[in-house]
Amino acid sequence: MQQAPLPVLSILPQLSTLLSEQAVVLQAPPGAGKSTALPLHLLQQNPQQRWLLVQPRRIAALSIATYLAAQLGEPVGQQIGYQIRQQGKHSKATRLLVVTEGILTRMLQQDPTLEAYHGVIFDEFHERNLQSDLGLALLLESRQLRPALNLLVMSATLPAQALADWLAEHETPAAVLQSEGRQYDISISYQAPSREQNYLDKTAQVIRQVVAEGAQGTLVFVPGQGEIRHLQNLLGDLNGARVVPLHGSLNVQQQQAALAAEGQPRVILATNIAETSLTIEGIDTVIDTGRERQAVYRPKYQATELVTKRIARAAAVQRAGRAGRTGPGQCIRIYQPSDLQAMAEYRPADVEQQDLSDLVLQVAVWGSQVDDMAWFTAPNQGHLDSARQQLQRQGLLCGQQATAEGHAVAEFATDTANASLLFKVQNQTAATRSTAALLVANQEEQEASNLNLVDALETILQQPANYPRTHRRYAKWCRSLNTKPIQHIDAVVLAECVFAYQPLGLARRRLHSDLFQLASGAGVEWAEPRQATSFKEVDWLLVTDVSFHQARNNGVIRQCLPLTQTQLDGFLRGAGEQGTETATELSWRGERGGLYVEQVTRFGALELMRKPLQQSPSAQQWLNALLDQVRNQGLEYLNWDDVSEQTLRRLQLFTGLQGDSNAYSSAELLATLEVWAAPYWNAIRSRQQLQAWVPAQALLNTLDYAAQQRLQTQLPTDWQAPSGRRHRISYQADGSALVSLKLQEVFGLSESPQLADGSMTLCFDLLSPAARPLARTTDLATFWQGAYQQVRKEMRGRYPKHPWPENPAVATATHLTKKALHGS
């Protein structure tokens, strides 16, 4: 069957014209030809021009370069070349270089104007990877030096006009072009599981169903590798269909093998790596679980948590589109139509939720500050602050400027933690350099899954054929450090490297437990009980790989190194600025006991030693300890008896009537404890005494004498009834004021009394002679005319000794019986 021309071809003449004048944002759905036909067209327009095509994934960069070179009848490395991490093919003849986003950043750092290139094409920008946002931000500053540098941003789903408007705001006028997609009809159906947690079982059932019905190419989207393995186990032998995984941890060759059609039916179990860019031949069925794994950085623990979330609607469209690239197809969604409507329109950009240490360092080396650059989505401010603090502690930043060490670290083509270790060991022994090189290669590729790091690295050394990616990186770092590969692992040297690489990976066993606490503060545990047995005699670990999942309270140790107390002591002595901190702290002796002074030594969040000092707390230390206790426990820690509760409510009403509703809020009282409460604590010397302290008088004394008089006038503590008796007013949490009394005591009162200069009406709980509730009212006049008559009818027979007049508004109030009232 002859395929129709690619839709993008119709807009190429217009694109060429626009690119000569301004930047262009191209929105084109999958199948339009934007990644294939468009780059070749630009090359044909001017044989002298060279272009960069930026891809978000290595496998996509390699696949597109291979495809484009084949279209020209050439091997990769001639007119079409590529450069990704670990490998590349290009030459002087290369006119289109396909690169990943990280490679673009390094190219810009080396040549800020990209003089060798006519323009840069960002493909699949909607994926919003951290490096793509960084690359575009750097490129906009680069264009200020070289305005003639062409810029083309391509996306399948991002709002093109919003992106163009943003570019225009940052001195980069941009036109918007839209292309139709080339997509066959796709039938979409929904097969949601009866229970959400059973969605993988339902997915396996649907896979068997479509294979049995004759599906030749089935692409199944799941959140991560764990779900892929689980489905592989559930599916087993699938009627001759080949089941293959596809995820980012596979090497390029393994990923390419998954993409290739080999004639037999196949089921590809994939993460969101397969949503865009990749050409996967022969897919006629997509099964979408509607979930993906997102990496969310937790600055408190300096760790990244893997969170399973619903995909965005844009991703759902992308996934479904995979079924109609080469012919009619079907998409089966393992969720409800209502779930689709509840999805966010787009997934969050990486700059909103990932660790920004690498970004901050790259920007500092570039010579700018993050806050001064143009970002399509603003980076997370909390993550920025955390990144700056980390880089400053490591000596890579001074303020927001990159130090000499920061510049040197940024030169290494790896993340900041790895690069920092490589920099530190440059002048150390050959054994240390080689061990550090292997450690970094292992951290980058994570091919060896042994729990004990020594075993993992030893296995890599002895079985190089099984760990090709790690060995390639190892060889690269050995060359960079001018050293040779080692034959065996020296555990002592390795421990030194690991501690230098990741000091906050130091972990201590919790007392009588298999749980450990990291120096970062996070708790970690073993994935399986049998692993705990292997380390039962170990109290200290260096954890090099840990995963955090939303379903578990603690992180899971994936790889670690046992540490002896002697090794630890040596590391801590030589840790320098990354070392221990000693402080004087106060501790409580039980609830009734007082405070005592201790010297506490910590490494990060780990307490190493605590010893008492022979000194008494000062008055200020006492006060600070009491204040901290209440602030940590909340105001409820104090003795809120009824008088205190009523005083607080009266004060809140009093100031609220004056327009200040926050003056006596819990937050304000906690923030001002030192002002209104602390002056009354001079004699308190235990937590028990603090809990017994009644705050009523202290609260009242926040008002001067005149204001206290106004408070008593407007919101009195009691009210005198017509009977002559005084009754306590109970101020309620909802702002009302309530008096409970016998109904006969308000005879003669024609209407309800007012408080606060008429701003409030007193509410009555009217009781029977036996003090049982009869009615609640804030409108006494209406009550006398209406409900009272029914009450009188029911009560006069039950309580004949008490008065029940027909017209209570003019009757004599009393708390007495009729006989006692009339003196007979």
Does 621 fall in a domain? no
Nearest Cα residue to 56 out of 2, 129, 107: 129
Does 697 fall in a domain? yes
Q: Going by DSSP bridges, is the β-strand pair 540-549/555-563 parallel, antiparallel, or unpaired?
A: antiparallel
* Residues 545/446, Cβ–Cβ less than 8 Å: yes
- pLDDT reported for residue 820: 77
* Residues 28/34, Cβ–Cβ less than 8 Å: yes
One domain for residues 195 and 306: yes
Does 589 fall in a domain? no
Mean pLDDT of 663-688: 94
Does 399 fall in a domain? yes
Phi-psi region of 800 (alpha: psi -120 to 50; beta: other; left: phi over 0): alpha
Rounded distance, CA 504 to CA 606, Å?
Answer: 10
One domain for residues 198 and 82: no
One domain for residues 332 and 449: no
Which of 259-263, 639-643, 728-732, 781-785 is predicted with the least confidence, judged by mean pLDDT? 259-263
Token pair 């690169």 is found at 99
Does 593 fall in a domain? no
- pLDDT reported for residue 276: 66
Average pLDDT, the chain: 91
**What digits encode the pLDDT tens for the residues 258-280?**
777 677 889 999 998 777 666 67
One domain for residues 405 and 478: no
Rounded distance, CA 51 to CA 62, Å?
Answer: 16
Mean pLDDT of 30-55: 90
Rounded distance, CA 469 to CA 486, Å?
Answer: 17
Does 671 fall in a domain? yes
**What digits encode the pLDDT tens for the residues 498-534?**
998 888 899 999 988 999 999 999 999 998 888 888 8
The percentage of the chain sitting over the pLDDT mark of 70, rounded to a whole number, equals: 97
Q: In terms of C-beta density within 10 A (0-12 exposed, 13-18 middle, 19 or more buried), how is residue 663 classed?
A: middle
Does 47 fall in a domain? yes
Which of 693, 712, 731 marks a domain boundary? 712
Q: The CATH number of the domain where 57 resides is what?
A: 3.40.50.300
One domain for residues 192 and 335: yes
One domain for residues 784 and 734: yes
Rounded distance, CA 768 to CA 774, Å?
Answer: 6
One domain for residues 488 and 507: no
How many domains in the chain? 7
pLDDT-derived band at 1, boundaries 50, 70, 90: very low
End-to-end C-alpha distance for the chain, whole angstroms? 116
One domain for residues 140 and 257: no
Rounded distance, CA 166 to CA 814, Å?
Answer: 78
Mean pLDDT of 72-87: 93
Which of 111-125, 261-275, 410-424, 719-733 is predicted with the least confidence, judged by mean pLDDT? 261-275
One domain for residues 373 and 231: no
Mean pLDDT of 310-322: 92
Q: Calculate ∠ Cα 252-254-260, nearest 5°.
A: 100
Mean pLDDT of 664-679: 96
**What digits encode the pLDDT tens for the residues 89-135?**
999 999 999 999 999 999 999 999 999 999 999 999 988 999 999 99
Q: How many CB atoms lie within 10 A of CB 299?
A: 17
One domain for residues 307 and 419: no
Token pair listed for 586? 């106060």
Mean pLDDT of 778-797: 94
Backbone angles phi and psi of 245, in degrees to 5: -90, 155
**What digits encode the pLDDT tens for the residues 756-787?**
999 999 999 999 999 999 999 999 999 999 99
Does 629 fall in a domain? no
Which of 712, 741, 758 marks a domain boundary? 712
758: three-class secondary structure by DSSP: helix
One domain for residues 44 and 82: yes
* Residues 380/353, Cβ–Cβ less than 8 Å: yes
Strand order in the sheet with 87-89: 87-89, 80-84, 96-100, 51-55, 119-122, 150-155, 23-27, 174-178
What are residue 654's DSSP bridge partners? none
Could you tell me the residue range of the domain that residue 252 belongs to?
186-352
Which of 501, 518, 536 marks a domain boundary? 501
Q: Is the pTM of this model over 0.75?
A: yes
> Has residue 4 got a pLDDT over 70?
no
- DSSP code string of 338-375: HHHHHS-SSPPPHHHHS--HHHHHHHHHHT--GGGS--
Rounded (10°) CA dihedral 558, 563, 565, 568: -90
One domain for residues 772 and 682: no
* Residues 297/212, Cβ–Cβ less than 8 Å: no
Q: How many CB atoms lie within 10 A of CB 361?
A: 26
In the chain, the amino acid numbered 683 is A
- pLDDT reported for residue 575: 67
280: three-class secondary structure by DSSP: coil
- pLDDT reported for residue 248: 76
Q: How many CB atoms lie within 10 A of CB 404?
A: 10
